[in-house]
Amino acid sequence: MLNWLWFVLLAAGVLYGAAAGSLEAVTEAALNASGDAVRLAIEMCGLLCLWLGVLRVAESSGLVDRLGRALSPLVGLLFPDVPKTHPAFSAIVMNFSANLLGLGNAATPFGLKAMSYLQELNRSKEDATPAMITLLALNTSGVTFIPTLVISLRMAAGSKDPACIIGPTALASSLGLVFALTLDALIRRRQRGR
DSSP 68-133: HHHHHHHHHHH-TTS-TTSHHHHHHHHHHHHHHTT-HHHHHHHHHHHHHHHHHH-SSTTS--HHHH
Residue 64 pLDDT > 70:
no
pLDDT for 174 equals: 86
What confidence tier does 118 reach under pLDDT thresholds 50, 70, 90?
Answer: very high
> Considering the domain boundaries, does residue 25 fall inside one?
no
Compute the CA torsion angle 74, 78, 84, 86 (nearest 10 deg): -130
pLDDT for 148 equals: 75
> Considering the domain boundaries, does residue 153 fall inside one?
yes
Q: Render pLDDT for 4-42 as a digit per residue (tens, 0 to 9).
A: 998 998 888 888 888 888 888 888 888 888 888 888 788
> Considering the domain boundaries, does residue 22 fall inside one?
no
Structurally, the chain folds into a number of domains equal to: 1
> Considering the domain boundaries, does residue 36 fall inside one?
yes
Amino acid type, 41: A
Task: State how far Cα 134 lies from the chain centre.
Answer: 15
Residue scoring higher pLDDT (194 or 76): 76
pLDDT for 163 equals: 87
> Considering the domain boundaries, does residue 56 fall inside one?
yes
Q: Render pLDDT for 70-114 as a digit per residue (tens, 0 to 9).
A: 878 888 888 888 888 888 888 888 888 777 777 777 778 888 899
* Structural domain span for residue 148: 32-193
Closest to 95 in 3D by CA, of 111, 77, 119: 111
The CA distance from 100 to 107, in Å, is 9
Work out the end-to-end distance of the chain between its first and last CA atoms, rounded to an integer number of angstroms: 36
> Considering the domain boundaries, does residue 154 fall inside one?
yes
> Considering the domain boundaries, does residue 48 fall inside one?
yes
> Considering the domain boundaries, does residue 146 fall inside one?
yes
For the residues 153-174, what does the mean pLDDT come to?
Answer: 86
Q: φ and ψ at 144, to 5 degrees?
A: -140, 125
